[in-house]
Amino acid sequence: MSAASRRIFPGFNLSVGYTLVYLSLIVLIPLAAIGFKAGTLGWETFWEVVTTPQVMASYRLTFGASLLAGAINAVFGLMLAWVLVRYNFFGKRFIDAMVDLPFALPTAVTGIALTALYSQNGWVGQYLEPLGIKVAFTRLGILVALVFIGLPFVVRTVQPILEDMEIELEEAAASLGANRWQTFRYVVMPILLPAVLTGFALAFARAVGEYGSVIFIAGNIPMVSEITPLLIITKLEQYDYAGATAIAAVMLVISLLMLLSINGLQAWTAKRTGRGR
Amino acid sequence: MKSFSKLLSFLLAIALSGGAIAQNSLLNVSYDVSRELYKDINPAFVDAWKAKSGETLIIKQSHGGSSKQAGAIIAGLQADVITMNQAPDIDILAERGGLVKKDWRKAFPFDASPYSSVSIFLVRKGNPKGIKDWDDLTRQGLQVIVPNPKLTGNGRYTYLAAYGYAMQKYKSDAQATDFVAKLFANVPVLDGGGRGATTTFSQRGIGDVLVTFENEAHLIEQEVGAGKFDVIYPSITIEAPAPVAVVETVTAKRGTRKQAQAYLDFLFSNAGQEIIAKHHLRPRNPAIFKKYAKQFPKVKTFTVESQLGGWAKAHKQHFADGGVYDQIVRKR
């Protein structure tokens, strides 16, 4: 846009300058440091470090479990948000507050609590064990932890949209002869989908970076239940800082690509439903 | 504005008082499970030092995974002394930036290790699986709890103990590799710390046997209650000395060289060795060892130096990326 056109804020230069400096200090410089440190390895060593079978297995686990956890949270988070916005019942405020709990809890506490619950002698685990379902110290345990920590994201992104959505829209759809499914599919979902996708992306991103809670419940068996952040820590423990940052750089690139494509998807759905600008 | 200047002067006061305390304090950076020991050592040393020099010292402690702790010192943590459970974590300080002397092993008696421990087995009461020796841990269907050898000294010693045992028995690297591969195929959970493995075994009820240090086994009996577990001594095991060193650069800067030296000397003194023995760590002083001999059953031992060619070689062969450990876990 042209320089003097509609600016709401005075001091445009100041605010943009501030934004850039702040972003650089907090985000860009540390990220650049990862690139530099990983760069010390040389391309061939770098490639070797980031593609060993053990590391490859951990990418599959970390990104696979995170996507799955994000998807589960998208479905159940939407449901939870719906219930919290549309219905009134006893204890609603309490449940609403509880949704934020995974944010507030230190991740180590989460991990230890979940492990204690789901291990073979835990409150929940002892009933699952006879059914042949093992949660703690398996991949399933990782998924449980990731679903737990990602829960608030979808709920909190969908909730305000739902609150703004006029119930008359659904009534109008019904009066025009739409059945419940059609109302949901063609009226409600298009409005909510961008928010659900945002929540999904946030939950996914959080799950990819999660270390504290997963480490207690994972079992950490190489090739089976080792998440990528654990391999980074393992490298650090061996004073292999370059190797650790190499894996970190790969995670960064994959995460960035995935977030970009989710953002693209979100923009596409927004445009398709006529809400894009 | 008034409250701001108040805040400023408050912060200044904190900073200054911090500087004043720094003159007579020591920071001991140690590994994860030495908390209980130093909780007893520190007050005893402070009293002894006060009687000798009239100075009141404050000893601060920092505990964590041993390699992480060493890494923190390299990154600038102002440690006056470092007390570890494996030599490589002190060697790295000599290698990177000369934080400790190259020949730190000669600075104190017994290769600068005031005590050692041995790797033993902890099994469920009555030893239902009949576990007697390292061979039993490779039996199919048995579950063995060991902390992650890539992350913990405890796990590394366990791995090396099994490997050393197999080397003595088979005299062949290939067969020894096969032996540890079988053993680690029996490990259902690789915890990131020695204490984590203890919790998995004793609280979560997972596994038939926990391989850990002798003193940790006694701690479990104290914490979880005696009579739930049995301690089994294998026919031969690894001796794990716990080395200590003065961090030269930090003590020179802070002027605490003398106090740091005295602190570590205290660990080798009779009083220090007594406290060590009470914590079920094997003291070096023969007289004190004899006094507490009942706690320390005789067991044949080897060390990383005697059986595995020293830490540098063992690390390169087994734990470095692509080493034997990586190979055996990738195969499973």
* pLDDT digits 0-9 by tens, B14-37: 554 444 444 589 999 998 888 889
Least confident of B85-89, B103-107, B159-163, B164-168: B85-89
Residues B305, B309, B311, B314: what is their CA dihedral angle, to the nearest 10 degrees? -140
Segment A155-179, tens digit of pLDDT: 999 999 999 988 888 889 989 988 9
Two structure tokens written together for B199: 């919790």
C-alpha A210, offset from chain centre:
9
CATH no., domain B2-113+243-295:
3.40.190.10
Is it the case that residue B3 has pLDDT exceeding 60?
no
* Domain span at A128: 21-272
Token pair 């709990």 is found at A101
Count how many domains chain A has.
Answer: 1
Q: Which pLDDT score, from 0 to 100, does residue B4 have?
A: 55
Is it the case that residue B321 has pLDDT exceeding 70?
yes
Q: Would A4 be classed as within a structural domain? A: no
Query: Are the CB atoms for B83 and B31 separated by under 8 Å?
Result: yes
Q: Which amino acid appears at position B261 of this protein?
A: Q
Chain A CA closest to residue B186: A221
Mutate to test the interface with B, among A213, A221, A234, A236 (most CBs of B within 10 A): A221
Sorting pLDDT into bands at 50, 70 and 90, what band is A30? Answer: confident
Q: Where are the domains of chain B?
A: 2-113+243-295, 117-240+299-331
We report the CATH number of the domain holding residue A37 as 1.10.3720.10
Q: Would A277 be classed as within a structural domain? A: no
State the average pLDDT for chain A: 88
State the average pLDDT for chain B: 89
In this prediction, residues A15-42 reach a mean pLDDT of 86
Beta-carbon separation of B204 and A119 below 8 A: yes
Q: Which pLDDT score, from 0 to 100, does residue A274 have?
A: 62
Sorting pLDDT into bands at 50, 70 and 90, what band is B12? Answer: low
Integer Cα distance of A142 and A128 in angstroms: 16
Comparing C-alpha atoms, which of A260, A74, A87 is closest to residue A156? A74
Residues B12, B13, B19, B22: what is their CA dihedral angle, to the nearest 10 degrees? -140
Beta-carbon separation of A220 and B187 below 8 A: no
Q: Which pLDDT score, from 0 to 100, does residue B18 have?
A: 46
Sorting pLDDT into bands at 50, 70 and 90, what band is A12? Answer: confident
Q: Which pLDDT score, from 0 to 100, does residue B16 have?
A: 47
In this prediction, residues B282-303 reach a mean pLDDT of 94
Sorting pLDDT into bands at 50, 70 and 90, what band is B174? Answer: very high
- Residue A229: its chain B contacts at CB < 8 A? none
- Residue B143: its chain A contacts at CB < 8 A? none
**Interface residues on B facing A, Cβ-Cβ cutoff 8 A:** 65, 67-68, 71, 74, 92, 96, 148, 150-151, 187-192, 196, 200, 203-206, 319-322, 326, 329-330, 332
Sorting pLDDT into bands at 50, 70 and 90, what band is B332? Answer: low
Integer Cα distance of B307 and B4 in angstroms: 64
Integer Cα distance of A273 and A266 in angstroms: 11
- Residue A222: its chain B contacts at CB < 8 A? 190, 326, 329-330, 332
Sorting pLDDT into bands at 50, 70 and 90, what band is A31? Answer: confident
Neighbouring CB atoms inside 10 A of B96's CB total 13
Q: Which pLDDT score, from 0 to 100, does residue B187 have?
A: 93
**Alpha helices (H) in A165-240, listed in sequence order:** 167-175, 180-182, 189-209, 212-217, 228-237
**Mutual orientation of helices A228-237 and B66-74 as an angle, nearest 10°?**
60
Q: If DSSP codes are grouped into helix, strand and coil, which group holds residue B302?
A: strand
Chain B CA closest to residue A49: B321
Q: Which pLDDT score, from 0 to 100, does residue B131 have?
A: 95
B58 φ/ψ angles, rounded to the nearest 5 degrees: -115, 130
Q: How many CB pairs under 8 A join A and B?
A: 77
In this prediction, residues B94-114 reach a mean pLDDT of 93
Q: Which pLDDT score, from 0 to 100, does residue B14 have?
A: 52
- The β-bridge relationship of strands B81-83 and B25-30 is parallel
Q: Which pLDDT score, from 0 to 100, does residue B9 have?
A: 59
Q: Which pLDDT score, from 0 to 100, does residue A276 have?
A: 44
> Which residues neighbour A250 within 8 Å (Cβ) at sequence distance 6 or greater?
A50, A59
ipTM beyond cut 0.85: no
> Which residues neighbour A61 within 8 Å (Cβ) at sequence distance 6 or greater?
A139, A142, A225, A226, A227, A228
Measure in Å the smallest separation between the Cα of A230 and chain B Cα atoms.
9
pTM score, two decimals? Answer: 0.81
Q: If DSSP codes are grouped into helix, strand and coil, which group holds residue A196?
A: helix
Indicate the length of chain B as a whole number: 332
Beta-carbon separation of A221 and B150 below 8 A: no
Query: Are the CB atoms for B4 and B243 separated by under 8 Å?
Result: no
Measure in Å the smallest separation between the Cα of A54 and chain B Cα atoms.
7
Integer Cα distance of B310 and B323 in angstroms: 16
**Interface residues on A facing B, Cβ-Cβ cutoff 8 A:** 49, 52-54, 115-116, 119-122, 136-137, 215-216, 219-224, 230, 233-234, 236-240, 243
Least confident of A18-27, B49-58, B74-83: A18-27
Nearest to B330 among A215, A222, A233 (CB): A222
The b-or-e profile of A247-277 (16+ CB within 10 A means b, else e) is bbbbbbeebeebeeebeeebeebbeeeeeee
Beta-carbon separation of B187 and A221 below 8 A: yes
For chain B, helix (H) and strand (E) counts, in that order, are: 17, 12
In this prediction, residues A216-224 reach a mean pLDDT of 89
Q: Which pLDDT score, from 0 to 100, does residue B6 have?
A: 60
Is it the case that residue B7 has pLDDT exceeding 70?
no
Nearest to A137 among B74, B189, B192 (CB): B189
- Residue A215: its chain B contacts at CB < 8 A? 192
Q: Would A183 be classed as within a structural domain? A: yes
Mutate to test the interface with A, among B95, B150, B325 (most CBs of A within 10 A): B150
Segment B130-164, tens digit of pLDDT: 999 999 999 999 999 999 998 888 899 999 999 99
Is it the case that residue B13 has pLDDT exceeding 60?
no
Measure in Å the smallest separation between the Cα of B284 and chain A Cα atoms.
29
Sorting pLDDT into bands at 50, 70 and 90, what band is B201? Answer: very high
The b-or-e profile of B100-133 (16+ CB within 10 A means b, else e) is beeebbebbeebbbbbbbbbbbbbbeebeeebee
Two structure tokens written together for B117: 């421990």
Is it the case that residue A1 has pLDDT exceeding 50?
no
Nearest to A239 among B92, B188, B196 (CB): B92
Is it the case that residue A255 has pLDDT exceeding 60?
yes
Nearest to A137 among B188, B321, B332 (CB): B188
The b-or-e profile of B254-273 (16+ CB within 10 A means b, else e) is bebbebbbbbbebbbbeebb
- Residue A213: its chain B contacts at CB < 8 A? none
CATH no., domain B117-240+299-331:
3.40.190.10
In this prediction, residues A80-84 reach a mean pLDDT of 94
Beta-carbon separation of B150 and A122 below 8 A: no
Most confident of the ranges A183-192, A260-269, B282-291: B282-291
Q: Which pLDDT score, from 0 to 100, does residue B251 have?
A: 94
Longest dimension (CA), chain A: 71
